[in-house]
Amino acid sequence: MVNIINETPHYSSKDAFQMSKGILKVFSEVAHHYELVNHVLTFGLDIPWRKRAAQVAAVGNGTLWLEVCSGTGDMATNLMKHASPETKIVVSDFSFSMLSKAREKEELKDVTISLADSLQLPFPDDTFDLVIISFATRNITPTRDRLITFLGEFRRILKPGGRFINLETSQPSLTPLRIGFRFYTKQIIKLVGRLISGSKTGYAYLAHTVPRFFNAEELSNTLYDAGFSRVNYVTMTFGTVAIHRAVK
């Protein structure tokens, strides 16, 4: 069995440290019921969303794939199904509680697990053919500038020509749908998340990040600003979720 490789994160400022500490606390609280809450809150739609993202991610193949902010490894189990026998998969997150759940999964026994902050990943430049993130970009994005810093780090460790895939909630373009989605997010996610997980602050925080996140076009522009090229995206389920693909 592969152990969790512990890379103690180094923070460039006190603010970055405090912010990361807050998010870390949230995910330590919700780790136990995290996947169940996802399935319930999305009416099971997170399953086909992840499948589709894994299909998109696999195009282009390559021998080294990294999932950042991987949490409990739900996305990684989908990636495994598309990986060729030569492909090595690494998953990384800064929450030991979330990674411990990934470690328990038989399907992920050959995956390397790294405990690290995505702001400073313990990998050399030009290493990976694929970097993927799912449902975590919102968590690393209090400001556009900070998101660009993270995206720069993901770009740094991609090989030239390597691809970055982002699966994330988005903003429906039709106003009534957007209003309905925001209502659902603010009222229902907080309540149901708290009832199942027992964490009051955890799902209040998650519900807070969804309506504030970029729409698909804004995220595309941000990817260009972070230095990526050939950005494209598909939206799913009335624009509530998007998969972006960008190339280094």
Ligand X SMILES: C[S@@+](CC[C@H](N)C(=O)[O-])C[C@H]1O[C@@H](n2cnc3c(N)ncnc32)[C@H](O)[C@@H]1O
Is residue 95 involved in binding ligand X (CB under 6 A)?
A: yes
One residue of 64, 66, 108, 140 binding ligand X per CB under 6 A: 140
Is residue 210 involved in binding ligand X (CB under 6 A)?
A: no
Shortest CA distance to 65 belongs to which of 136, 135, 129, 1?
A: 129
Nearest distance from residue 96's CB to ligand X, in Å? 9
Smaller CB separation from ligand X, 47 or 174: 47
Q: Give dist(CA 122, CA 92) in Å, integer.
A: 10
Is residue 240 involved in binding ligand X (CB under 6 A)?
A: no
Amino acid at 177: L
CB count in 10 Å sphere of residue 37:
22
Is residue 80 involved in binding ligand X (CB under 6 A)?
A: no
Is residue 23 involved in binding ligand X (CB under 6 A)?
A: yes
* DSSP track, 83-145: --TT-EEEEEES-HHHHHHHHT-GGGTTSEEEE--TTS-SS-TT-EEEEEEES-GGGG-SSHH
- Asked if residues 31 and 101 have their Cβ atoms less than 8 Å apart, the reply is yes
Q: Give dist(CA 187, CA 18) in Å, integer.
A: 27
One residue of 37, 54, 56, 70 binding ligand X per CB under 6 A: 70
- Asked if residues 91 and 70 have their Cβ atoms less than 8 Å apart, the reply is yes
Is residue 71 involved in binding ligand X (CB under 6 A)?
A: yes
Is residue 41 involved in binding ligand X (CB under 6 A)?
A: no
Q: Give me the residue whose beta carbon is nearest to ligand X.
A: 71
Q: For ligand X, what does the binding mask look like between residues 99 and 138, x meaning CB under 6 A?
A: ------------------xxx--------------xxx--
Q: Give dist(CA 72, CA 102) in Å, integer.
A: 4
Nearest distance from residue 174's CB to ligand X, in Å? 26
Smaller CB separation from ligand X, 95 or 197: 95
| Residues at the interface with ligand X (CB under 6 A) | 20, 23, 27, 69-71, 74-75, 93-95, 98, 117-119, 134-136, 139-140
